[in-house]
């Protein structure tokens, strides 16, 4: 099997490469939209504006922590005539047979997901995340390393869960909501709301100055 990594300015691209190596998947190239790539082998990087002149025709997966940027990269790749790869699941993750995972999703090493759960398309689940049974993770969600999601969690499209956050059972996280790193979520979070702290409370969020700003990131 072969794959194309689309968006290689994020440090996470090394994790994508290492998971591919463990799975025996050949990374044909990495596509850089602009800026300095961070692949282990820069000689394999193809600039996006040069992509049309190549004969690359392998499935891609978009690489970025930001949900917004991952969606942008996916749209660019599709506009270039590429097709989405199946989910990329590290062999050191633990997934029962009763769950479903959408295409273009990346599940990093050490992730554990409970039974009868659903993970959407183009989701990023970073290292050592734990997700309880009967949970639903929407498209383009980003979950930072070490986050713990209890059972029966609903996370809507584009939400971001920070590193080490804890979400108690039966909570709902709204579309494009942000749960800050280390937050303890004891109440459901609405669409576009930013919560932080223990217990988590709503705070204003300047997306232009936060780490969610996609300027300069892939």
> How confident is the prediction for the chain on average, in pLDDT?
90
Q: Residue range 58-82: average pLDDT? A: 90
pTM for this predicted structure? 0.92
Looking at the structure of the chain, the number of domains it has is 2
CATH label of the domain that carries residue 193: 2.160.10.10
Last residue of a domain, one of 79, 103, 120: 79
Give residue-wise pLDDT tens across range 23-44.
999 987 788 776 667 766 777 7
Q: Is residue 218 part of a domain?
A: no
Structural domain including 147 reads: 87-199
100 with 68, same domain: the answer is no
Query: How many contiguous H segments (helices) and E segments (strands) does the chain have?
Result: 2, 22
The residues assigned a catalytic role are 133
Last residue of a domain, one of 44, 79, 114: 79
Q: Is residue 204 part of a domain?
A: no
Q: How would you write 120-169 as a 3-class SS string?
A: CCCCEECCCCEECCCCEECCCCEECCCCEECCCCEECCCCEECCCCEECC
CA distance 119 to 107: 10
123 with 185, same domain: the answer is yes
Q: Is residue 216 part of a domain?
A: no
CA distance 13 to 9: 7
Give residue-wise pLDDT tens across range 82-134.
899 999 999 999 999 999 999 999 999 999 999 999 999 999 999 999 999 99
124 with 169, same domain: the answer is yes
103 with 170, same domain: the answer is yes
CATH label of the domain that carries residue 45: 3.40.50.720
Q: Is residue 214 part of a domain?
A: no
Q: Is residue 187 part of a domain?
A: yes
Give residue-wise pLDDT tens across range 155-179.
999 999 999 999 999 999 999 999 9
């Amino acid at each position: 099997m072969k794959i194309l990594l689309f968006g290689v300015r994020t440090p996470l691209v090394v994790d994508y490469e290492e998971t591919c190596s463990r799975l025996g998947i050949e990374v044909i190239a990495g596509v850089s939209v602009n800026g300095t790539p961070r692949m282990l082998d820069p000689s394999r990087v193809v600039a996006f504006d040069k992509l049309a002149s190549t004969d690359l025709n392998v499935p891609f997966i978009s690489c970025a922590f930001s949900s917004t940027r991952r969606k942008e990269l996916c749209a660019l790749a599709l506009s270039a005539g590429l097709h989405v790869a199946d989910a990329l699941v590290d062999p050191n993750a633990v997934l029962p047979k009763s769950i479903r995972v959408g295409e273009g999703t990346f599940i990093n090493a050490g992730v554990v997901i409970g039974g009868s759960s659903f993970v959407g398309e183009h989701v990023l689940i970073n290292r050592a995340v734990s997700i309880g049974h009967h949970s639903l993770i929407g498209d383009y969600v980003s979950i930072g390393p070490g986050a713990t999601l209890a059972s029966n969690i609903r996370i809507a499209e584009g939400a971001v869960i920070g590193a080490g956050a804890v979400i108690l059972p039966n909570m709902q996280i709204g579309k494009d909501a942000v749960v800050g790193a280390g937050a303890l979520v004891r109440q459901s979070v609405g669409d576009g709301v930013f919560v932080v702290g223990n217990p988590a409370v709503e705070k204003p969020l300047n997306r232009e100055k936060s780490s969610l700003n996609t300027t300069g990131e892939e």
